[in-house]
């Protein structure tokens, strides 16, 4: 049975027929181009796969299982998949009004990784480490001037075309339409564009009990009484604090047991920088290597997909962790977890341990890719969250708007 996609954050079209056609078109484009050598990172990924029996067998079987299930992948074997990955990481992202494919690598991998063999494959550390190098290569391309192909006003694929500007109000951002590429030096420079001063005023200035939203994002979940450790990959997606912070940082995890979590996700059209939710001192800040395309298993062991696996991904995906000791003892410590979903190229931390930050100060940013974030509060701190479930994809919480009130 062909499944629909979960279109969280507008990163993918929900219609699988559209995605199947995208993959077919990508394969045709590669076929019609002169054959070129694979980039070093993709070539190394191919070597790892072919030289590691467990990886090779799982990926081969996952591809076969997806094809047998009726999915149009655009490839039938590992060699063809490597050529398509190579094409993706050497190109930029066009705007598409109707059927945006904001995460093309995930679009290539989504059905094999959801097969039984794929669920195991995408949790193998060596495989993820090599995927990270592939994503770093793409990030390097997106940081360079050749990535600006679609930073223009030309319909239908230009990011400053009339249809694109309906999706994002560029008057809120620092840019110069009179300059080539509107003044952006690269795709990632555009993706991480900054608001003009005053575009997102900080709620509750002077009131330490008002906690603000750290990202421009849509609410995904609120959970109370979170546990130190949980079997987060089975049946549901509870928050497992030891896994979120990592075992080497379990002393932090212990301080948040019984506390509450707010989680939200970013669309490809959102602002992708992070701000401090409270004023205080940064007492820890670190990056965690993790998985990039691993899915959660939902009820009946049905894979639900990365864009709907956000609770699970907060424990296993590549992420930045920052902990702020509030200047108000009634607020305590606040943990900020910025998570890379799908093809996130990198999480960039801009602040150091010991830095004092004011509520609303910038902490860092996501480079290109899907993203979600959590704020974790110690027990007894939160009196009330402003957003109330049920949540939907159209609900957007502005950066620096009031998120919660502390007791």
> Mean pLDDT, the chain, as a whole number?
89
Q: Are 337 and 288 in contact (CB under 8 A)?
A: no
Q: Predicted confidence band at 315 (pLDDT cuts at 50, 70, 90)?
A: low
pTM for this prediction = 0.88
Averaged over 250-277, what is the pLDDT?
Answer: 93
Where exactly does CATH 2.70.70 map onto the chain? 210-406
> Residue 357 half-sphere exposure, CB side, CA atoms within 13 Å?
28
Q: What is the pLDDT of residues 328-371, one digit of tens each?
A: 999 999 999 998 877 765 789 999 999 999 999 999 999 887 68
- Tracing tokens 């696996």 back to the chain, one arrives at 309
d(CA 102, CA 107): 9
Residue carrying structure tokens 């977890």: 337
Q: What is the DSSP string of 36-96?
A: -PPPHHHHHHHHHHHH-HHHHHHHHHHHHHHHHTT---S-SSHHHHHHHHHHHTTS-----
Q: CB of 350 within 8 A of CB of 357?
A: no
Query: Residue 300's pLDDT is what?
Result: 32
Task: Give me the pLDDT at residue 308, please.
Answer: 53
- Digit-coded pLDDT (tens) for 42-70: 999 999 999 999 999 999 999 999 999 99
3-state secondary structure of 253: helix
Average pLDDT over residues 65-94: 96
Least trusted range by pLDDT, from 81-90, 356-365, 383-392: 383-392
Q: What residues form DSSP beta bridges with 357?
A: 280
Q: CA 314 to CA 90: how far, in whole Å?
A: 29
Query: What is the Cα–Cα distance from 172 to 196, expressed in whole angstroms?
Result: 6
What pLDDT score was predicted for residue 327? 93
Please tell me whether the peptide bond between 376 and the residue prior to it is cis, using omega within 30 degrees of 0: no
pLDDT at 270 over 90: no
Beta bridge partners of 377: 260, 334
- Give tens-digit pLDDT for 120-178: 898 898 998 899 899 989 999 999 999 999 999 999 999 999 999 998 899 999 999 99
Could you tell me if 170 and 328 are in contact, meaning their C-beta atoms sit under 8 angstroms apart?
Answer: no
**What SS3 state is found at 198?**
coil
Q: Is the CB of residue 237 less than 8 Å from the CB of residue 311?
A: yes
Rounded CA separation 309/315 (Å): 10
- Looking at residue 316, its pLDDT comes to 64
Check pLDDT > 60 for residue 250.
Answer: yes
Beta strand spans in 95-161 (E): none
Top CATH class of 210-406 equals: mainly beta
Q: Percent of the chain beyond pLDDT 70?
A: 89
Cα first-last separation, the chain: 50
| Tokens standing for residue 248 | 């080497």
* pLDDT over 90 (residue 39): yes
Residue range 226-248: mean pLDDT, rounded:
76
In this structure, what DSSP letter does residue 179 have? S
Q: Which of 299, 290, 219 is nearest to 8 (CA)?
A: 219
Structure tokens at 193: 């564009």
- Is the model's pLDDT at 305 over the cut of 50? no
Q: Where does the pLDDT of residue 225 fall: very low under 50, low under 70, confident under 90, or very high at 90 and above?
A: very high
Give the pLDDT confidence score for residue 312 in this predicted structure: 58
d(CA 78, CA 215): 38
Angle at 61 between CA 35 and CA 294, to 5 degrees: 90
How would residue 310 be classed by pLDDT, with cut points 50, 70 and 90? low
DSSP-derived 3-state class of residue 118? helix
Q: What angle in degrees, to the nearest 10, is found between the helix axes of 16-32 and 78-88?
A: 90
**Res 387: pLDDT:** 94
């Amino acid at each position: 049975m062909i499944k629909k996609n979960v279109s969280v954050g507008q990163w993918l079209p929900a219609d699988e027929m559209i995605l199947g056609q995208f993959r077919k078109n990508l394969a045709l484009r590669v076929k019609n181009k002169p054959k070129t050598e694979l980039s070093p990172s993709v070539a190394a990924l191919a070597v790892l796969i072919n030289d590691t029996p467990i990886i090779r067998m799982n990926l081969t079987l996952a591809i076969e299982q997806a094809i047998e299930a009726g999915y149009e992948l655009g490839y039938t074997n590992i060699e063809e998949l490597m050529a398509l990955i190579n094409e993706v990481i050497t190109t930029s992202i066009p705007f598409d009004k109707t059927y945006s494919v904001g995460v093309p690598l995930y679009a290539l991998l989504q059905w094999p990784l959801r097969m039984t063999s794929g669920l195991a494959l995408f949790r193998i550390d060596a495989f993820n480490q090599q995927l990270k190098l592939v994503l770093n290569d793409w990030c390097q391309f997106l940081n360079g001037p050749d990535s600006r192909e679609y930073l223009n006003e030309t319909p239908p694929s230009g990011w400053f075309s009339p249809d694109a500007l309906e999706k994002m109000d560029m008057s809120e951002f620092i840019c110069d339409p009179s300059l080539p590429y509107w003044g952006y030096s690269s795709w990632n420079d555009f993706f991480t564009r900054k608001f003009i001063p005053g575009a997102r005023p900080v709620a509750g200035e002077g009131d330490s009990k008002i906690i603000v939203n750290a990202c421009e994002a849509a609410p995904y979940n609120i959970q109370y009484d979170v546990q130190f450790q949980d079997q987060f990959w089975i049946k549901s997606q509870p928050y497992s604090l030891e896994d979120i912070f990592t075992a080497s940082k379990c002393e932090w995890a212990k301080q948040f047991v019984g506390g509450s979590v707010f989680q939200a996700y970013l669309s490809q059209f959102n602002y992708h920088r992070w701000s401090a939710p409270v004023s205080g001192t940064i007492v820890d800040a670190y990056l965690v290597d993790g998985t990039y395309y691993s899915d959660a298993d939902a009820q009946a062991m049905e894979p639900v997909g990365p864009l709907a696996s956000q609770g699970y991904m907060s424990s296993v995906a590549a992420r930045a962790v920052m902990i702020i000791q509030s200047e108000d003892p009634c607020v305590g410590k606040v943990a900020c977890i910025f998570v890379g979903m799908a093809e996130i190229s990198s999480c960039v931390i801009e602040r150091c341990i010991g830095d004092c930050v004011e509520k609303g100060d910038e902490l860092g940013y996501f480079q290109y890719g899907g993203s979600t974030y959590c704020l974790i509060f110690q027990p007894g701190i939160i009196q009330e969250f402003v957003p109330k479930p049920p949540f939907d994809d159209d609900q957007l919480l502005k950066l620096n708007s009031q998120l919660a009130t502390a007791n």
